[in-house]
Amino acid sequence: MPQRTLVVALYACALAIVLPAAAQTAKQTPAVDPAAKWKAECSSCHMAYPPGFLPERSWRKLMTGLDKHFGENAGLDPVTTREITAYLTSNSAERSSDRRAGRFLGSLAADAVPLRITETPYFRRKHDAREISPEVWKRPKVGSPANCTACHSGAEKGDFSERSVKIPQ
């Protein structure tokens, strides 16, 4: 009987040490960086557009309609959707320190909810038909105004500088 009590006591001590350590390890599981998750999910189909190019209200609307994302089903699981939405809204035009974000936001009416960056007045001014012929958008290497990387080689890094623009022939 005393030996059995000793075994139970040792077992209880072991559990007292192991269980908190296991719980601590579970809590330390590194979270996936929201920016990395946004970039991985969105760029699997198109360039991951800078969050600062649209207001929070636009990102919220886009993220709630992923099952009908411009004619495609881009639906994500609820956790991923929440994480990416949080990333986009916390870096939206209202919250970004990027000067272009302010220009995009400033070009919009207070109640405007554009779903495409190309629908914003700022984008349209910068890509005016007098400077960029409508024929350019139809070129095979360009395809559409949404294909930023066709002309802006640094677009995926957030560089939309006019100095680095090269329009494909």
Q: Give domain limits for the chain.
A: 32-116, 127-169
**What is the mean predicted confidence (pLDDT) over 99-115?**
97
Tell me which residue of 96, 118, 108 sits closest to 46, measured CA to CA. Answer: 118
pLDDT at 165 over 80: yes
Tell me which residue of 120, 62, 50 sits closest to 92, measured CA to CA. Answer: 50
Is the CB of residue 35 less than 8 Å from the CB of residue 28? Answer: no
Q: How far is CA 31 from CA 28, 34, 37, 84, 133, in A?
A: 9, 8, 10, 13, 46
Q: Which two tokens stand for residue 97?
A: 């320190």
pLDDT at 6: 54
**What is the mean predicted confidence (pLDDT) over 82-89?**
97
Q: Mean pLDDT, the chain, as a whole number?
A: 88
**What is the mean predicted confidence (pLDDT) over 139-155?**
95
Q: Compute the distance between CA of residue 17 and CA of residue 138 in angstroms, rounded to an integer.
A: 67
Q: Which two tokens stand for residue 121?
A: 């007045």
- Put simply, whether the predicted model's pTM sits higher than 0.85 gets the answer no
pLDDT at 23: 55
Tell me which residue of 154, 169, 50, 162 sits closest to 104, measured CA to CA. Answer: 50
**What is the mean predicted confidence (pLDDT) over 151-167?**
92
